[in-house]
């Protein structure tokens, strides 16, 4: 069931999203060669708690950390580790969220560690831009397929592919709510978009093929062909005046 949020709910949720955005910025600004992914995770967790929030990924289906940190050919759900040091040239996807007074925020971005290749930069730019294409398509009266179609067209026109095994989602009093928000699809198909719907739109884009595999740790998702992958996500609310991004500072 898709839950439409009231103005009162959206006000609280905006705080959860503001905290999520601050934590992502804090961790992202610390990305540099030699830093461990566990250090980034701690910065994010400390920030969320300092703002009165709680890390909402921690213990979600047994997930052990605040953030998912996925490097280069890792797509999503990389587990932070004291053993994993960032290297110059890495692209580092950080995905995290906060719960505040019962409501969730969720956001992600891919950061460059030092100087990265022009190919890596183009992949990151395309993925970020595809998120904004998807957001622009999230208008009241449209359909869920409009979002995925906008993302997919933008990505594929640039020679990349969208991941299909993982999708965006509704968000609110739960981290994951209906509806699913695929990053591919047919415009005009799927459920109708209405004011008060809150969606986490999150394109995962591979430089090569769309196929992925999961490591034996049960979490880390990699590109099957070893190509680079990037991930950007915002929590968005659909209003009568168009989509509004909630995960902003
Ligand atoms: N950020 C993921 C999403 O956007 C959720 C991560 S699953 C978790 O749906 F277990 F790591 F929390
Ligand atoms: Co999400």
2 located within any domain:
no
28 located within any domain:
yes
- State the closest ligand 1 atom to the C-alpha of 95, by its place in the atom list counted from 1: 1
What three-state secondary structure class fits 36? strand
Q: What is the mean pLDDT of the chain?
A: 98
Q: Where residue 202 sits, what CATH number does that domain have?
A: 3.90.230.10
29 located within any domain:
yes
180 Cβ inside 6 Å of ligand 1: no
1 located within any domain:
no
202 located within any domain:
yes
110 located within any domain:
yes
Give pLDDT < 70 ranges for the chain. none
Q: Domains in the chain: how many in total?
A: 1
Ligand 1, atom 2, residue with closest C-alpha: 95
142 located within any domain:
yes
pLDDT tens, 193-229? 999 999 999 999 999 999 999 999 999 999 999 999 9
35 located within any domain:
yes
Q: What's residue 117's pLDDT?
A: 98
Q: For helices 118-136 and 144-157, what crossing angle results, to 10°?
A: 160
- State the closest ligand 1 atom to the C-alpha of 97, by its place in the atom list counted from 1: 1
CB 185 within 8 A of CB 138: no
Tell me which residue range forms the domain holding 233: 7-245
- Model pTM above 0.85: yes
Q: What's residue 2's pLDDT?
A: 97
Report the C-alpha gap between 159 and 47 in whole angstroms: 37
Q: What's residue 44's pLDDT?
A: 99
Residues with Cβ within 8 Å of 19's Cβ and at least 6 positions away in sequence, in order, are 47, 48, 51, 52, 53, 98, 100, 105
Q: What's residue 161's pLDDT?
A: 98
Q: What's residue 175's pLDDT?
A: 98
Calculate how far, in angstroms, residue 57's C-alpha sits from the geometric centre of ligand 1: 6
Q: What's residue 89's pLDDT?
A: 98
């Amino acid at each position: 069931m898709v839950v439409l949020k009231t103005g009162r709910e959206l006000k609280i949720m905006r705080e959860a999203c503001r905290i999520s955005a601050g934590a992502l910025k804090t961790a992202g600004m610390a990305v540099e060669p030699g830093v461990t992914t566990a250090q980034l995770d701690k910065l994010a967790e400390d920030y969320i708690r300092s703002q009165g929030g709680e890390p909402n990924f921690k213990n979600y289906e047994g997930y052990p950390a605040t953030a998912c940190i996925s490097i280069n050919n890792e797509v999503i759900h990389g587990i932070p580790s004291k053993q994993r040091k960032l290297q110059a040239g890495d692209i580092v996807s950080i995905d995290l969220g906060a719960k505040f007074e019962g409501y969730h925020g969720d956001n992600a971005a891919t950061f460059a560690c030092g100087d990265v290749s022009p190919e890596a930069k183009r992949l990151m730019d395309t993925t970020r831009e595809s998120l904004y294409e998807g957001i622009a398509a999230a208008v009241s009266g449209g359909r869920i397929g409009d979002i995925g179609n906008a993302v997919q067209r933008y990505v594929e026109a640039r020679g990349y592919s969208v991941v299909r095994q993982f999708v965006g989602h509704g968000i609110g009093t739960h981290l994951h709510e209906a509806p699913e928000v695929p990053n591919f699809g047919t415009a005009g198909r799927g459920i109708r978009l209405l004011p008060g719907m809150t969606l986490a739109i999150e394109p995962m884009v591979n430089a090569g093929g769309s196929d992925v595999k999961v490591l034996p740790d049960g979490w880390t998702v990699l590109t099957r062909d070893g190509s680079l992958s990037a991930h950007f996500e915002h929590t968005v609310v659909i209003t009568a005046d168009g989509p509004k991004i909630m995960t902003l500072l």
